[in-house]
Amino acid sequence: MSDKIAIRAEAERLLAVFEAAGARRVDADLLQPAETLLDLYGEDIRARAYVTHDPDRGEMMLRPDFTVPVVQMHMENGAEPARYAYLGEVFRTQPAGSGRAREYLQVGYEFFDRTDPERADAEVFALFNEALSPLGLRPATGDIGILKAAVETLTTTERRKAALMRHIWRPRRFRALLDRYTGRAEADPARTALLDRVAADGAEAVVDAAGPEIGLRRRADVLARIAALQEDAGQPPIGRSEADVLDVILSLRETLPNAHQHLSDIAVDLPGLAASVDRMARRMEALNAAGIAVDDLPFEASYGRTTMEYYDGFVFGFVAEDRPDLPPVATGGRYDALTRVLGRGREIPAVGGVVRPELVRHLREGLA
User: What Cα–Cα distance (Å) separates residue 323 from each residue in 175, 235, 300, 363?
Assistant: 29, 47, 20, 9
Residues of the chain with pLDDT under 50: 1, 368
Q: Residue 174: how many CB atoms within 10 A of its CB?
A: 21
Report pLDDT for 98. 63
Residue of 306, 362, 308, 297 lying closest to 67 (CA atoms): 308
Report pLDDT for 342. 85
Report pLDDT for 220. 79
**Amino acid type, 27:** D
Q: What's the rounded Cα separation, in Å, for the pair 125 and 139?
A: 9
1-136+325-368: CATH topology:
BirA Bifunctional Protein; domain 2 (3.30.930)
List, by residue range, all CATH 3.30.930.10 domains of the chain.
1-136+325-368
Residue 40 has φ and ψ, to the nearest 5°, of -100, -30
User: What Cα–Cα distance (Å) separates residue 290 from each residue in 196, 294, 350?
Assistant: 60, 10, 18
pTM metric for this prediction: 0.87
Q: What's the rounded Cα separation, in Å, for the pair 266 and 252?
A: 12
Q: Is residue 115 classed exposed, middle or buried when 0-12, 13-18 and 19+ CB atoms within 10 A define those classes? A: exposed
Helix or strand run (H / E) with residue 355: strand 350-355
Q: Is residue 197 classed exposed, middle or buried when 0-12, 13-18 and 19+ CB atoms within 10 A define those classes? A: middle
Report pLDDT for 1. 45
